[in-house]
Amino acid sequence: MAIFLNNVSRTFGEYLLIPGLTTKGCIPTNVSLKTPLVKHHWGEKSAVMLNIPFVSAIMQSVSGPELGIELARNGGLSFIFGSQPIENQAEMVRKVKKFKAGFVISDSNLTPENTLADVLKLVETTGHSTIGVTQDGTPNGKLLGLVTSRDYRVEKDSKDKKVKEFMTPFAKLIVGKVGLTLSETNQIIWEHKLNTLPVIDENDNLAYFVFRKDYDNHRENPNELSAEDKSLLIGAGINTRDYKERVPALVEAGADVLCIDSSDGYSEWQKETLTWIKKEYNGKVLVGAGNVVDKEGFLYLVGAGADFVKVGIGGGSICITREQKGIGRGQATAIIDVAQARDEYLKKTGVYIPICSDGGIVHDYHMVLALAMGADFLMMGRYFARFDESPTKVLRIKNNYVKEYWGEGSNRAQNWQRYDMGGTENLKFEEGVDSYVPYAGKMKDNLITTLGKIKATMCSCGSITIPELQKNAKITLVSSTSIVEGGAHDVILKEHN
């Protein structure tokens, strides 16, 4: 006869937080959202500390290099999706690692033989009006000149006019040299009243642009997550099939942490993958594993060497694993169970294993509940898929602007490795759907609101750090009628034009 668990499988929506004493020092500006990403001995600092408890899901429709850059600049971490050719994924990792706040690799480049028509087309495509004119038209070719919107008049100049006829030639440009700090380049910009400073190497090849506007942007990102060399931190997803080829490529590209991406992580495949990585790299490559939903799964992956463990099966908004296979557990119950196992392991060994809550987040307050129940950080897909920085296009469906969002278990993703149970290489049935999410604009604008809510809620719970929240938070189950009571009810809402 099967083993029956007595506790009910519950979701975040079935709980509320009870207010704690809000002291005078318990104000949002005093709240710290720093949290460990990887395992560490208790009392010591984790090798990677997130400045906000958010990582983006390992999904084609979520985690590309643009989101990786923007999320790291705001204190979180992206995991570049692994359901793509190895070199493509490695190149995405390199793109994030090459980015330096203020130092921008040009994405708008032409040759002197191009025409004004080419300039206008490029401006329309990229949205950037500053164009580097290089010998071969590449981002790192020999710099020959610069074109900005002040160099031509659309209404008067012929579209056939060659770039070399109206560009600002190299001889008239003020340039910086590779090796200058951001402060030094900004000083040049201010002294010469420039909007753009090209930075070149010893062979006059274009390396970066530094823009006046990025100086302000840099000051606006105090939570930036970066390494000692000022490169942004970035993660990457791997599978249990081609890891012996994929992991070396990602490590060489500069990935700071890896994560095995699977709908069910309690498997010998994951143990073999973790064991190989830890042995091959002498324990120096950080790698998370998952997903699991109970104590046994957590301890199995920790014993295999996981640096963090991802919790959640079937709770994602586009995941239908529970419908298809009857496998999974309510996300709240899973987090509570695994967090208890994590704390028991800490008492026994003195080693703290961070856990990541993956899925089940519908409202912003669910994020605080997940943290209070024991999660160290949250992995989210739908939340980030809505923003400009995710890889998908903005579409208009009837009168609504949306972005595409599909699961890694959908046929569209063709990510059979994530759901691999051995045997032939194909996706036997779908465990994810293809959908849309409401378009929400820039990530930073939305993140400010979300983090503001989290900090305010933590203050109401009498906590200004995540460990304090986990220690002091009081949580109650709610009935179906109290859920209704929690929203607007028994009133006639005004219609806003």
CB 232 within 8 A of CB 226: yes
Whole-angstrom distance, CA of residue 127 vs CA of residue 327: 46
- Pairing relation of β-strands 143-147 and 394-397? unpaired
Integer Cα distance of 62 and 122 in angstroms: 25
DSSP state of 15: E
Count CB neighbours of 436 within 10 A. 17
> What is the rounded CA–CA span in Å between residue 26 and residue 19?
12
Which residue type is seen at 276?
W
Question: E strands of 332-453, at which residues?
Answer: 351-352, 355-358, 377-380, 394-397, 400-406, 434-438
CA 28 to CA 455: how far, in whole Å? 5
Separation between Cα atoms, residue 167 and residue 145, nearest integer Å: 6
Residue corresponding to tokens 């790192």:
140
Catalytic residue among 73, 342, 382, 418: 418
Q: How far apart are CA 89 and CA 245, in angstroms?
A: 12
Backbone angles phi, psi at 78, to 5 degrees: -105, 150
Q: Are strands 377-380 and 400-406 parallel, antiparallel or unpaired?
A: unpaired
8 A C-beta contact, residue 22 and residue 194: no
Report DSSP state, residue 172: G
Q: Which string of b and e fits 199-221 if b means at least 16 CB within 10 Å?
A: bbeeeebbbbbbbeebbeeeeeb
- Report how far residue 289's alpha carbon sits from residue 123's, in angstroms, rounded to the nearest whole number: 43
The active-site residue out of 26, 259, 319, 356 is: 319
Identify the three-state secondary structure at position 238.
strand
CA–CA dist 412, 184 (Å, integer): 47
Provide the 10 A C-beta neighbour count for residue 245: 9
Q: Are 235 and 183 in contact (CB under 8 A)?
A: no
Our answer to whether residue 418 is catalytic in this structure is: yes
Q: Do the strands 49-50 and 351-352 form a parallel or antiparallel pair, or are they unpaired? A: unpaired
Does the annotation count 26 as an active-site position? Answer: no
Return the active site residues.
Answer: 319, 418
